[in-house]
Each structure stands twice: as C-alpha cells, then as structure tokens.
Amino acid sequence: MTSVLQQETYRHEALIYAGEDDFVAKTSRFLRDGVAAGEPALVVVSARKIERLRESLNGDAEGVLFADMADVGLNPARIIPAWREFVSAHSAPGQRLRGIGEPIYPERSAVELVECQRHEALLNVAFQDAAGFWLLCPYDTEAMPPEVIHEAKRTHPYLMNGDSQVSESYYGLDSISQPFSAPLAEPPADAAEVRFDEASLAQVRVLVRDQADAAGFSRRQRDDLVLAVSELAANSIRHGGGDGLARVWQGDGELVCEIVDAGHLGDPLAGRVRPKTGQPGGHGLWLVTQLCDLVQIRPFPEGTTIRVHMRRR
C-alpha cells in the first residue's frame, strides 16, 4: 500500500469492504504500512472498530491516534475541523500523514446521511492542498445499500477494492464547489414561525426559547439553541437582505429550527473552518456548527435556508 503514495498530493480514497473482519484486515494493513514508514495516523471510526483495530495491531499502533466517530462526527460538519487539527499538528516538510474516517454507518438517519455525503465531497475541497495526506474512508457493502456505495465512488477520486484505482465516477472539484441544492423536507404545517428584522430580532429568541421549553429541553440546551438561531438571524440581517423568516417545530426527540433569507452563501466550507483570531467574519456559523447536532445549509437561487437540529438529552 505504501507505493501508491509516492506523489506529494492529497489522496482521498474510498475503501470498499465486506463486514467487520474485512474492515480490520484492510485497515490494519494500511496502518501498519504507515507506522513502518514513520507516518502519523488518525483513525476516526466507531468505538467497537477502534477496539478491534487495537487488538489487531497488537502493539504496532505507535504513532496512531484514535477517536470515536460518535463523538467527533455527531454533527458531520465538525469532522473537517478535526482533520484540519490533525494535519496542522503533524505536518512538516516531506512528512506524510494517514487517516481513516468512517462517517457513514447504518445508524445514521436519512437527513444525517445526506449531510455525511456532502461532508465526504467537501473533504476534496478542504484538503486539496494538503500534500502527502492520505485519507481512507471505509464503506461496508454488507451494511450499506448499493446507492450509498455508488455515491461513495462519486465523492472519492480513488477507490480501494482490492487494488487502488481511480474512480471514474468522481464528481470533480468544480462540481463539488457548486451550491449544494439537495432538497429539504417541507416544514410541517403547524411549525411556529415569525418574520424578523433588526428591530424584532428579540422575537426570534423568544420563539426558540418557548418552543424549547415546551419540548422539555434542559436550560443549557435551550440556551445553546437560542444562541445558535439568534446568530443565524443576525447573519440574515447583516448579509441576507436585512430580514428573514424563522421557523421552529418538534421532530422525533428533537427540535428543528430554520432561518430563511434572501442572502447568498458562496463558500462551500462555511461553518467548517475555525475562524482565526481577529478574523472579521465566519464566527457565527462556526458557533452554530459547534452548538447544534446537525446543520443543513441550502443556498437556493431565491436565497439561503439554514436548518439546525438539536436532540433532547
């Protein structure tokens, strides 16, 4: 496996495997090759697979870091920042790095799956200049339907299914960088809503607070959600035409809030890059991503919809 990374470029590869034993065999070999070559590695998969990998490596895990995807990737938009932190901490001239990340697994909901697939595509944008970083994304043919495997071939430039090969189905950076217009489910007819502008921004906070209290959220969760939606509404006032529409409704054990405005969000990585100290913008959406369990951003021709989810805990 080491020979295919002689190039000094970012390599984003989908690993196609069949069942947990096959996963352990293929990823252990990938990690051992990296350890032998002195290449730091980060593995972000389920706790169960971390346990299996540690057993398989049997002491050969020097230089390998592990993190539970259930923690790192609860919100898929937080995964790119975690990879950026790893790359930044370990990059050096001539230093190659390895990663294994499995954000897509059967327990993901349908809406989470779409955002995970978007994340997988955006990895190509986020790390296109990360020379020597080889990121392997496993996909289980025994656990995931064929359409998910097919989409993996479109979001990854390379495939590993036995031998490494170029993916003929890969979207390409130009396509991935275009506005992401996957449809959103229509809000329920009984969703609470309020139109707002600068003078009535407080009404948005009241709406979210009241709905969170009615849904039985803890005070901390309620306050986090109020802060997140208030940040989105404030962005609408500053960048989205000066006003907008806020909606809130209860889902299955969660509260869903959305902000709709006439603005246009052009950066495909918005909310996924940690703002630098003193940076004039980008803090609000970053904060929203950190506070909420799922963030759906849809820049439509008529404006932008941002929908956030928070589960009751």
Band the pLDDT of 279: cuts 50, 70, 90: confident
Mean pLDDT along residues 133-139: 98
CATH number where 164 lies: 3.40.50.300
Tell me the C-alpha distance between 50 and 44, whole Å.
8
pTM of the shown model: 0.94
Q: Please indicate, yes or no, if residue 182 is contained in any of the structural domains.
A: no
Residue 65 makes CB contacts below 8 A (sequence gap 6+) with 40, 41, 42, 43, 86
Mean pLDDT along residues 266-289: 88
Tell me the C-alpha distance between 126 and 124, whole Å.
6
**What residues make up the domain containing 126?**
2-176
- Whether 271 has a pLDDT exceeding 90, the answer reads yes
- Whether 4 has a pLDDT exceeding 70, the answer reads no
* pLDDT of res. 228: 98
- Whether 301 has a pLDDT exceeding 90, the answer reads no
Q: Please indicate, yes or no, if residue 187 is contained in any of the structural domains.
A: no
Same domain (yes/no): 21, 164: yes
Mean pLDDT along residues 114-128: 98
Same domain (yes/no): 94, 233: no
Q: Please indicate, yes or no, if residue 183 is contained in any of the structural domains.
A: no
Q: Please indicate, yes or no, if residue 154 is contained in any of the structural domains.
A: yes
Same domain (yes/no): 23, 164: yes
* pLDDT of res. 162: 77
Q: Please indicate, yes or no, if residue 271 is contained in any of the structural domains.
A: yes
CATH number where 291 lies: 3.30.565.10
Contact status, residue 221 vs residue 313, Cβ threshold 8 Å: yes
Tell me the C-alpha distance between 208 and 190, whole Å.
15
Which tens digits make up the pLDDT trace of 73-82? 999 999 999 9
Across the chain, mean pLDDT equals 94
* pLDDT of res. 300: 87
Same domain (yes/no): 53, 166: yes
